Structure 1
Amino acid sequence: MNPDELGEKGESRFKELCADAGLICNKSDRDRAGWDFIVEDQFSLSSSLPFDRRKSPISCHVQVKTIHAKAKSVRIKLNMAERLAKELKPAFVCILTVNDAKEVVGLHLLHILDDRLSAILKRLRQQAAAQNTRALNKSVLSMSPISEDLVPVTGAALRAALENAIGLDLYKYAQRKQVQLAELGVESVIANVELRFQKGANKARELSDILLGLSAGAGSFRILENRFGIEWPVMDAAIGKFEFTPVASDSCRVVVRSKETPAVGMDGKVFRIPALFHGADDRTRLDCEFVKIDFFWNFESLNGKLTLSPTNFSTTVLGWMNYWRVTRALCSTGAIIEIRTERGQIPLRLPFEKPLGISAAAVDRWIALTDAYREIFVACGEEPSHHYGCAEIAAQESKLVLAKVLLEDPDRKFSFEIPLDAASGGSGSLPSTAILVDMIEVGPVSLAYHVLASIDSRIEGDNIEVEISNFVFRGGRKIGSDAGDLEAYKRGAQNEENLTLCFGFDMEGWFIS
């Protein structure tokens, strides 16, 4: 039989086997896609699942090759092999063996996955590395069947072999093949980087900043992939910007102490950059939430630099309290910075010799404001875990000062005037007890609370002079940010205390709510 007759014989027998197996066998009209047949199964009618939950049945590409019994291998054009390899669907080469009596006496099913997929990818990499300009359809790849590929020449055996190779889930199969296409034969990925520095720049300092992720680098770079022992550039840029994400070499605890403030501890990470040029310094950076400490040293000296983050960030109440206490300590003379690393045996204690040029009184104000915010949450039984910024809490300063007074000095008296017609239809009569309801809005959280207060009032012309005192904190909770949410909270408090007179407080002072 000539090759065409041999091929026709094999394809006809393969279609018969598919029919015997109950598989749908669709032939390619043009054998240029790397496969002769698409073989598919039908959806199962015995499944207990609803139709929309049934898994996709078998579907695969098959290239059929027919050989004489004495032949030991088949040859496939490299472009066809590439198509079989890159197709995410299962792909097979089915080798049918014919004897001298023109009978199909053997069937081998070669699965294009694992080692066979690796062999195709390796040949493609070699062809590219050799700068072989010969078209892939002029190059051939030899495939030899092994005993594990042998399948009885029956439809049932063919179906069983396909099902065993593909599995029950086509999507998982495609994911597995996709991983192999990306990773088979990959031995390493190496990045070669050429940095460019500004004229006159401190190259050692600038490079350590880049490696610590503090700034972006500019220059040219090439990434080489070593696959099947052959390097190939997968990215080649003449110039561009790139950033590094450093990996910490240790963890640390930084404690700041002074005679004027309690000790404040912060957890952080340690990053080390060795000397990169002759005569340059080694560098270690301690990175805490809002404090960064850099050490530069060589055989002759050790220098440190502490950087305190500006106040344009967001953190929690606890974070802000630590921030302002650290700032307050660093404003003091004689502050000590203690550094403990997880791997170190002895803590390092360093004097902070140059106090920050910040007003201690201004920092104390921020500490008091932050503490007042924390106290009102504690009093309400709520957890202040949200993040907020400096400007947001500063806008509520008067309300926070009032809340702190009501909690810590309930005997304090407040006097103010209200219009006569604001009370009881103008009669000037006020009950002896009232409720004060207020809301504090900082960041994404609104906190409402109420207190009871004793009322002493008298009429003075067109106004009523009011004195409130004897404050009793009654509770509070988080509410929504709409005006209606505060009004609903107020009505609830009035019903709970069985009182109607309610005072509020804003930037302009007291008012009847």
Structure 2
Amino acid sequence: MRDLGQLGESTFAMWCAQVGLIANGSAIDKTGWDYYVEFPISSNITTHELHKSAFECKVQVKATDKKDRKLAITVSNLRRMATAQMPAFYVFLEFDGKNEAQNAFVLHIDNELVYKILKRVHQIEQSEKNKDLNKKTITLTYSEQHRVKKLDGENLKQNLLKYIGENYSDYIASKNKYLQECGFEDGYGTVQFSLEGEDGIRKIIDASLGLEKDVEVQNLINIEKRFGIPSKKSNFEIPNAKLSLGMQPPKKGKIRFKEDSLSSGLVFDIDFYNSPFSFNEFRKFAKFRVVGDFFDMTFEPYKKQSNYKFNFGEDRRFELKKLKDAIGLIELMSRDSQNTLMELEIKNFEPLIFDLKTKFIKRELTIFDAL
């Protein structure tokens, strides 16, 4: 009786032998691959390439009499191929009822397929009751773009090398890096915790703006997430903890202080910080921070409150024009009940205009010492 599987494997082994590829067959077909293929070391290797290893890859041969150019393969098989540290391929041989291959196709397990396979594995492990990967399948498709133009060893070899590239070490490093990172494009998970009352909300907003070092939280839980799918079990659970929050990079912009709408005002470059927690039901606690060369200001628009401080530091040097503007701003913000118009221009944001009424603060500024 005709053995289609054996025909496929013997054809592949013959083509490998034609061009000096060593096709090591798998003794037990539970490894996900049929052949571990070793390429010969080039005789043109240079002194600087002496340490480089020969190319290697894993190949699964699939023989068929059909021409629908698709095949359902178990997820367990695909997982082994996708996570192999070396290049991995499916070679599809179409026999069309004959004893010699009529068409051949080489399908490379590239990053797109690796992503699809690992995502399916994660979905099964996290959401389905039956986690037996041997009973789950993914249908692979191949087309004219995967065709081996001439049915011989040289064309098979060139098709494999086309995907591996010229530098085997770079291929391995790139694949390993992708295996570690794929599915984590949107982060590595979520952290859930509880806060005590409104004071806790205010403190975490302040921490996100760099105004507090940390915040006390309760019931801290970390849940890993990959491909957007959360793990069923948390990594850890802590009843009470202190949480430190890294500040988001500031947005660059300018702030203008004007005594009235007709004045040119005082303009300063700033870093703008906005809390990611100031939204929806927490909007009333919204706060943003504006930091300049010599000032640090926070604003709570829904409470109509603000806080600002000035600091020239020690041994700071300012251009005369900037020093004059700085003194002008301090004088303006120290008046009693001074209505001030503020304009914020932040990159990629709509301009923000709002009013501020100052409080009198006694300040003594000694800029120049008399001789």
In the alignment, does 2:28 pair up with 1:62? no
Tell me, in whole angstroms, the C-alpha distance in 2 between the residues paired with 1:139 and 1:346: 59
**Alignment match, 1:481:** none
Match of 2:14 among 13, 16, 20: 16
Deviations 1:3-24 (A, max 9, x none): xx54444333322211212323
**Alignment match, 1:117:** 114
How far apart are 1:147 and its partner, in Å? 3.0
Tell me, in whole angstroms, the C-alpha distance in 2 between the residues paired with 1:222 and 1:154: 54
In the alignment, does 2:299 pair up with 1:302? no
Tell me, in whole angstroms, the C-alpha distance in 1 between the residues paired with 2:75 and 2:193: 41
**Alignment match, 2:87:** 90
How far apart are 1:191 and its partner, in Å? 6.6
How far apart are 1:82 and its partner, in Å? 0.3
**Alignment match, 2:33:** 35
Deviations 1:197-233 (A, max 9, x none): 346x624422321332433343435557473xx7323
**Alignment match, 1:214:** 211
**Alignment match, 2:260:** none
Which letter maps to 1:238? Answer: E
**Secondary structure at the residue paired with 1:34?**
coil
How far apart are 1:91 and its partner, in Å? 0.5
**Alignment match, 1:268:** 270
Check whether the contact 2:65–2:94 (CA below 8 A) recurs between aligned residues. yes
Which letter maps to 1:16? Answer: M
Tell me, in whole angstroms, the C-alpha distance in 2 between the residues paired with 1:353 and 1:236: 53
1:256-405 equivalences under 5 Å are 267-272=269-274, 274=278, 277=281, 280-289=284-293, 291-298=295-302, 302-308=304-310, 341-342=344-345, 351=358, 353-355=360-362
Tell me, in whole angstroms, the C-alpha distance in 1 between the residues paired with 2:311 and 2:131: 61
Deviations 1:362-419 (A, max 9, x none): x859x87xxxxxxxxxxxxxxxxxxxxxxxxxxxxxxxxxxxxxxxx9xxxxxxxxxx
Which letter maps to 1:280? Answer: K
**Secondary structure at the residue paired with 2:61?**
strand
Between 1 and 2, higher relative CO (CA 8 Å, sep ≥ 6) is seen in 2
For normalisation by structure 2, the TM-score amounts to 0.69
Q: Which moved more, 1:337-346 or 1:123-132?
A: 337-346
Check whether the contact 1:69–1:99 (CA below 8 A) recurs between aligned residues. yes
Tell me, in whole angstroms, the C-alpha distance in 2 between the residues paired with 1:117 and 1:364: 67
For normalisation by structure 1, the TM-score amounts to 0.53
**Alignment match, 1:238:** 237
Which letter maps to 2:253? Answer: S
The structure with more strand, counted as a fraction of residues: 1
CA RMSD of aligned residues (A): 4.8
Tell me, in whole angstroms, the C-alpha distance in 1 between the residues paired with 2:285 and 2:109: 55
How far apart are 1:286 and its partner, in Å? 1.3
Deviations 1:414-440 (A, max 9, x none): xxxxxxxxxxxxxxxxxxxxxxxxxxx
Check whether the contact 1:292–1:308 (CA below 8 A) recurs between aligned residues. yes
Check whether the contact 2:254–2:345 (CA below 8 A) recurs between aligned residues. yes
Q: Which moved more, 1:285-294 or 1:97-106?
A: 97-106
Tell me, in whole angstroms, the C-alpha distance in 2 between the residues paired with 1:354 and 1:127: 65
Taking structure 1 as reference, are residues 309 and 236 closer, same or farther at Cα in structure 2, changes over 3 Å only? farther
How far apart are 1:341 and its partner, in Å? 3.3
1:121-140 equivalences under 5 Å are 121-140=118-137
Taking structure 1 as reference, are residues 132 and 72 closer, same or farther at Cα in structure 2, changes over 3 Å only? farther
How far apart are 1:93 and its partner, in Å? 1.3
Tell me, in whole angstroms, the C-alpha distance in 1 between the residues paired with 2:14 and 2:362: 91
Tell me, in whole angstroms, the C-alpha distance in 2 between the residues paired with 1:7 and 1:282: 67
Taking structure 1 as reference, are residues 226 and 275 closer, same or farther at Cα in structure 2, changes over 3 Å only? closer
Deviations 1:219-273 (A, max 9, x none): 435557473xx73239655345251423545523588xxxxxxxx9863222345
Check whether the contact 2:187–2:225 (CA below 8 A) recurs between aligned residues. yes
